Every structure is written in structure tokens, then in C-alpha cells.
Structure 1
């Protein structure tokens, strides 16, 4: 029988939280086993980006898995500083959060630190969340990932296992934790004194199960359903001039709606497909390079609560959103759907193909792997009403003129997007869960989203794990 693989610290997930945690630990002489289900960053190619169809990449979506995680090699990304991720800053303490943020920026960007910009608060009638934000170009992202990968693979302290998944995690009085690792169809045992869970979107369902199996203290999230609104970038540009990541929150029809992931900068924005096996959701990426895309996009997210104000649970989302979503397309069930805005507004379907949309809108959508269907029909009535009201309130500020039928005709509504599905864990100021020795960093903490916030959490978890993960005296995490 193959002997168990041993490590001082097991890090699950090679996104910004996991990468910086592993980097920090290795620099202090700790043996780290870094595991990710995805591929090398140079092999994270998405066919949809090349105007082909989503094929699921053999069950490991290249957009949400692999080295870099949400930092997708070759795409522009946004970095936001605190107070974005306010709850994480409150947990860490403001001074410590800022210090770790500076450290994370040094680790990620080196001397090539980007310039951060705040909101022009007086240039919009809406209350915009004001925090420093910077956009990295695709070239800067390539340099960032290359640099971090070389640093991690140049030390014998880090063993990187790609195409590998942790399927079980069990506390072990002798070793700390025992885990089962599956790679290439074979299982092996891993032991580690400490574990840092930094699983990204692909690991959400697995992590939700682990939280319950391990009995971790947590509260349920307030999930949100989202739609992407794509239009010629000129219709959205003024929003990006107010703030690179325009975020405001409005309550209409009793539903809390917020703007999310605003992608309408100098180069517009790109949509991304995130495949989860039986359904595919949307994400957005900024393009900082001027003139790169004729379209921009942003999401509206609506909180999902019942009539008493309680958050909708996973079963409700599956039955009332994902199941109807999968039924919208006979050709490719569960793949994203586009609806012409006038149809979405009126809950009708007069525009029935992408070619017809192109004629009516006067431009082609930025991606082509869409069906055209009645996306509005699967939304709860109050959510549809609230989203329409918020969109039509925002657009005059974004476009610089009264929103009219011509603007409506040039807009696509694309779905589905789901956010805030992570349980909110009870964590110490060191990101340690209620199970000693197990840490949660990045999205899976349920505290904050964002690349820089995930990196900060990874560093905070690593710093505390250092105190108790005694470096091995012989061998390594092989």
C-alpha cells in the first residue's frame, strides 16, 4: 500500500488565498502540500472566449479551477482595497487589515503596483460604495501569475498537485488531519498538522458538505440571483468614470438590488462562462486596454428572501431557479440564455435568435454560446419588477441621457448568475474555524469576495498556522 503523503500544512485551492498562504508558509520553512483540481495556468483556455461552445473542459472548468483561481491568466482583473470586504477588515482589525493588504500587493505585484482610484462621489445621484480600486491589464496579470508560480515551484518546501481533489477531511488526534486525495482515478491518504481551505467556486458544494460533516459553526447566507446587462460600451461608460467598479444598492418592490462587477472601462468588458457540470453561470471581467471591446456589461443582483424575510435555501434555488434555468434550452440545458431587453422588460419573446438580436440591437453579443429564451419568465415576480426598476433608474446616469427605446433595443439581458451561496463561518481573527487547526480563506469563508481580500485572508491564516505547524525535520510534502 502506498505510504501516506505528509505535510505540515495542507492548502486546498490554488487561487489568490491558497497561493499566498503557501508562499508565506514556505518562506518560513514550512512544508506545504498545495492541491487544486484544475490545470496549469497556461492550459486554462476557455473555448467560449474563442467564440466556440462551452464543453465543460472534461468536468474541470478552466475559468474557475487551476493555478490562479479567479486570477485568470490573460484576462484583466480588478483589485479592490478595504473597505471593500468590510466584514473581513472588521474581523482582522483595520490596522492589521491594511498592513496585510500592503503585504499582499507586494507579493502579487512586486514593484509594479497599480494606481488605485476612488469614486467621484459628486458625479452621480446614487450612493456609490467608495473604496480604492485598480484594474490590471492582461499583460500585468500574466506577469503576476508567472512570478508567483515561479516562486512557489522554485522551493522544495511546496509540493504542488494539480488535477487533484480532496474528497474527505477528518480530524486526527495523531497527525492533526487526515484527508483523502483523488488524482487521475486513484486515491491516496494525506496527513497534515494544519489545513487551510481556500476552495473557490468549483469547491462550493463540496465545502458546504464539509462544513456540515465537520460540524463547523456557521450561519446560512443570503443568496442573490443575478443577470448581466450587456450594451455598447458608450451606454455604460459614465458609470465607470464615477468608479471603476460602480456599486450601489437600491430597494425596489421590497427587494434589495445591487450593481455588481461593473465592466465598462476603457476597453469595455468580457463575459465569462463558469461551468458547474449540470449548469453554467456567468461572471464578468474588466478589459483595461483601451478600445479592446465594443461592449460593456454589469450585473444586477437581487437578494432571495421569502415573504417573512428569511433567506432562500439551497433546495429552493435548485427547484425554483436552476431547474427552470436548465429547461430554457433544449439544445444545451443549463447553458446561458440571452433575451432582448424589450422582451425581458415585457416578459415576452419576439426576438428568438442571436441573428435576429444582432439586427434589432445593431451589434453582436460579445459571446455566441447563447440560446434565446424567456429568461424573465423564471424570475420571481418581485425580483423582475425590482430589477427592471433599478436598471431603468441607473441607465440615464450611465448613458448621460434619458433612457429611451433606442437604448433598450441595444441592450441584452443574459443569465444566469448566482452569488452569496457561501455559508458564513464563525472565524477567529486568524481565520481559524470552530475546529482548531482548520482555516478558511477567500470565498469559502463567507466573509468577503475579491482577489486582494482573498490574498489577505490567506496571509492571515498562514501567519497563525505558522505558530503551530512545526516544520518537518526530514523529508517534505511529497
Structure 2
């Protein structure tokens, strides 16, 4: 039998956007149902971090699902203030965006705000994006998530449901929206006057389907393919001295390439696996604790466009990137692979195992769940050529001197990474979609990535919901 409940607002996703939206809504008197497909923050363990293999966590990846979302319990994270997330700031207005950021920091951190640092002026000939960035260590992240969990647990106006997926979302003339929630032993309908979608990476495919089914106004994204370069910290440290999140964009050989998620501070960086079921992609987390790792990493992302300059479609990405990617591993198709940099540069495969790589590079990679494969072979030729040119241009900046042949031999190229897969929604300045009563916040807007940016969008959506209605929706019972 299907049970039926009701709430003023259904918030889908308990990451930064969903948590802050639920907190604000409850404070304003709304009854909120906050749901997430993942687990409680204290149970989001990634086996890869512990030297084991990625097994998908029974289909609910602990890295991209669960309470906290991208603020992964026990990892370091970066917080970037506007103008990082420029398009979101333009939508909200700069003054309002900054004010909401301050409020997010107060709700997340209390009075113990982290220290934000900007880029060093005139430190490189490259145009480095300048915005304030701060790194939280693992202890600070635990404090933030515990603080937010306690805030939500203290109020009876928020019902937190973990391990539950929203499988259907339908407009309803009387209730506003009817959502179907499912989990082992659970089949439930929820009536909600408003919905805030904050689904994050875990819900990317589901949300793309909903956008089209509901007819939400949007434009297709320009996807990017990425690779992560892992190297001894000494080869990357000068980049971190310029900016904690060194970001620059270069166009080489007609391809737009940018640096992404630079993780090479005092403690190095941690490569993360994010499992999507039939394939696993990479992410990167900073480690602020000095001396933790002797390796750092950063990603290069290359835009995917056809010969006429039009963005590649999701179907093209599946056919020409994900399908070849899944063929690279014989043991577990779709899991990340590693290639020795000289081999990647020359599009060959002379280094054929992790043991061989360790001998040639002089160190083992930070994670062990790889097979060695010809990652370069699945990239479009123009993308490979542009990435190589940008890498060879950046490394002297990061290392402080031209890259010697023996230093190039110490570098691993790891993939695959994909970014900018979200449709860009047409949103009001209150984060309302083209369907009245349906809001979006965080990555699923297609506007901006970042923890603070997602949380700011969640607050903006909640503020408008509270300003729109003063009459609570009566809570229903079970049927």
C-alpha cells in the first residue's frame, strides 16, 4: 500500500543547497521534507580512500550521495567566494550575493570563519582568476556538517529522510506537486506546495529527464572532458603559492582548456572516485593538513565542440567518450585508468602496470584502484593536442622552471573526468524555474559550482518561497 504525506516544501538533496534551504525554510515557519538517496554523514565511507576497490556502494556512491553532499565528512574542502560563480552572482545581484554568502558562512561556521586568500598580484604572466578562497581541513569539515545536522535536528519543522530516492515528480492542480519516494520497503507519495531541487551530481541524469518532461526552459550545456595530473608536490607548489585554487583558461589549437580543482597546497591533494553506476569519474579534494601527502594533482578540462563550434551532445559524449572509456579496463569496465605521462604525451603504452609505473616514476600513485591503459587513445585528436600544449605551458609556472625529462617521468595522467553536463536553466532572480513553485539550487542549475554558491542559491530559493506564501499547507496523514 502506498502511503501519502504532505509538506509545505519538498527539498530534494541534502547537500549544501538543500541543507541551507531547509534550515531557512524551517526558521520561517514552513514544514519541510528533506530527502536524500544517500546515507548519514558519519557512514559515508569511501573504500578507495582506504586502499580498497570501488564497488559502487550498492548503487548509492558515498562520495556524491548522503547528508553533506559535496561537503564530504572527513575530507578537506575549498570554499570560494564570488566572483567565483559569476553567472549566479549576476542573476542574484552582486550585493545580494555577497550578503547571502556572509549568512551562509555564519550558518555553517558560526563565528569561526575561515581565512580567505586571493591571488598574488603580478605573480605569473598567465591570467589567473582572482577570487577569495579558503580551505577547511578535515576537522573543520566535521564541525561544519555536525553543526548543520544539529540545526536541522533541533526543529520539528524539518523531517530528514535518508536512503530515499525521489523517482517521480508530477505537477498537481490542488497540491502543487506530487512526488513519489522509494526505498527498500518504502513506496510513498508526498504532496508539496513547493519543491526545491538540489539534487547534485547523484541526480544529474534524473534531473535532465525531469527538465525535459516538465518542459522547463533551459539551454544545453557545453560539456568538457577532463584528465587529472598527479605529480610530486615540488612540481606543483609554486602554483599553489600564486592561488590556492589556481584557475586559468587558455585556447590552444582551437580548443578551450582550463585548469580545474587545483589540489597542491601544504598537504597535497586527494583524488576521489565518484560512481555513477555504469562508469566512475574523478574528482579532487584538497588536503590542508601539512605533510599529509607528498603528491598533488590538478585537472585540465577541454571543451567539447564539433567542427562548427557547436557543443557536443550528451549522446555524443556517451558514444565517443564513455563507451570507449568503459572498454579500457578488462577487470571492471568504466573504472578510472592511469597512464604514465610520457606515454600519454606520445599516445602509446610502454608502461603497462602500476608496478611498472612506480619503478619508472619513483613513487606509487596515491590510490591503487587503477589499471594502466592508453587513456590518450580515447580523446579526440584536437583535444589531446590542446591539452598537451596547455600542460607543457603550465608546468614551468607550477614548478618554477622548465620541466626536465626526468621530472616528466614522475607524472601520472588519470581519467576520466567530465564536467559541465548540466543543462543551464532559465531562472528568476529567486532561483525559480519556468515552472511556478519549482526551484533549483546548486549544480543542477547549470549556473555555478561550489559549496558556497550552492548554499547561497538554496537560501535565495527559500527566501522567495517564504515571501510567496504565509499560509502553511496542512500536513496530511497516511492512506
Deviations 1:341-384 (Å, cap 9, x if unpaired)? 00000001000000110010001100000010000000000000
1:425 aligned to 2:425?
Answer: yes
Q: Distance in 2 between matches of 1:2 and 1:315?
A: 36
| Alpha-carbon distance in structure 1 between the residues aligned to 2:220 and 2:51 | 38
Q: Deviation at 1:404?
A: 1.4
- Matched with 1:221 is 221
Residue in structure 2 matched with residue 72 of structure 1 by the alignment: 72
CA distance in 1, matches of 2:215, 2:2: 30
Provide the residue aligned with 1:333 in structure 2: 333
Deviation at 1:5, TM superposition (A): 1.1
Q: Could you tell me which residue of structure 2 aligns to residue 324 of structure 1?
A: 324
Q: CA deviation at 1:324?
A: 0.2
* 1:393 counterpart SS class: helix
- Kept in 2, the 8 Å contact 1:179–1:189? The answer is yes
Q: Provide Cα deviations, 1:245-267, integer angstroms capped at 9, x if missing partner.
A: 00000001100000000000010
State the Cα deviation string for residues 418-464 of structure 1 (Å, max 9, x = none). Answer: 00000000000000000000000000000000000000000000000
Give the aligned partner of residue 382 of structure 2.
382
Contact 1:229 1:299 in 2 (8 A): yes
Runs of 4+ in 1 over 6 A off after TM superposition: none
User: Shift of the alpha carbon at 1:294?
Assistant: 0.7
Q: Hey, what does 1:91 align to over in structure 2?
A: 91
Alignment of 1:154-193 (within 5 A): 154-193=154-193
Partner of 2:13: 13
Are the equivalent residues in 1 in contact too, given 2:46–2:62 (CA < 8 A)?
yes
The question of 1:199 aligning with 2:199 is answered yes
In the alignment, the residues of structure 2 paired with residue 21 and residue 195 of structure 1 have an alpha-carbon distance, to the nearest angstrom, of: 11
CA distance, structure 1, for counterparts of residue 234 and residue 42 of structure 2: 33
SS of the aligned residue for 1:247 comes to: coil
Post-superposition CA distance 1:115-164 (Å, at most 9, x none): 00000131111000000000001000000000100110111000011010
d(CA) in 1 for partners of 2:81, 2:278: 35
Deviations 1:255-307 (A, max 9, x none): 00000000000100000000000000000000001000110000000000000
Give CA-to-partner distance per residue, 1:84-134, whole Å, 9 cap, x none: 000000000011001001011111111110000000131111000000000
Secondary structure of the residue aligned to 2:288 is coil
2:37–2:66 contact (8 Å) kept in structure 1:
yes
TM-score, normalised to structure 1, is: 0.99
Give the aligned partner of residue 138 of structure 1.
138
5+ residue gaps, structure 1, are none
In the other structure, the counterpart of 1:38 is 38
Q: Post-superposition shift, 1:406? A: 1.2
**Matched residue SS, 2:250:** strand
Contact 2:271–2:284, Cα closer than 8 Å, also in 1: yes
Matched position secondary structure for 2:417: strand
CA separation in 2, counterparts of 1:308 and 1:406?
40
Superposition deviation, residue 473 in structure 1: 7.0
* C-alpha contact 1:29 1:471 (8 A) present in aligned 2: no
Q: Distance in 2 between matches of 1:269 and 1:3?
A: 46
Matches within 5 A, 1:296-335: 296-335=296-335
Which residue is 2:153 aligned to?
A: 153
**2:358 matched residue in structure 1:** 358
Contact kept? 2:8, 2:473, Cα under 8 Å = no
> What is the CA distance between 1:468 and its match in structure 2?
2.9
CA distance, structure 2, for counterparts of residue 96 and residue 382 of structure 1: 41
Counterparts of 1:471 and 1:425, CA distance in 2: 29
SS at match of 2:122: helix
Deviation at 1:64, TM superposition (A): 0.2
Q: How many residue pairs end up in the alignment?
A: 478
Cα distance in 1 for partners of 2:265, 2:140 equals 16
Q: Is the 8 A contact 1:375 1:415 kept in 2?
A: yes
Q: How far has the Cα of 1:184 moved from its partner?
A: 1.5
Paired residue for 2:414? 414
Match of 1:105 in 2: 105
Post-superposition shift, 1:3? 4.2
Q: Return closer, same or farther for 1:476/1:80 CA change in 2, 3 Å cut-off.
A: farther
The CA deviation at 1:80 is 0.3
Following superposition, the deviation at residue 475 of structure 1 comes to: 4.9
Q: Is the 8 A contact 1:9 1:192 kept in 2?
A: yes
Q: Which residue of 2 aligns with 1:441?
A: 441
1:157-216 per-position Cα deviation (integer Å, ceiling 9, x unaligned): 000110101111111110111111112143211000100000010100000000000000
CA distance in 1 between partners of 2:185 and 2:325 (Å):
32
Q: Which residue of 2 aligns with 1:260?
A: 260
3-state SS of the aligned residue for 2:236? Answer: helix
Structure 2 counterparts to residues 45-64 of structure 1, below 5 A: 45-64=45-64
Aligned partners of 2:7 and 2:474 also within 8 Å: no
Asked if the contact 1:341/1:411 (under 8 Å) is kept, the reply is: yes
Gap runs ≥5 in structure 2: none
The alignment's TM-score, normalised by the length of structure 2, stands at: 0.98
User: Greater CA deviation, 202-211 or 459-468?
Assistant: 459-468
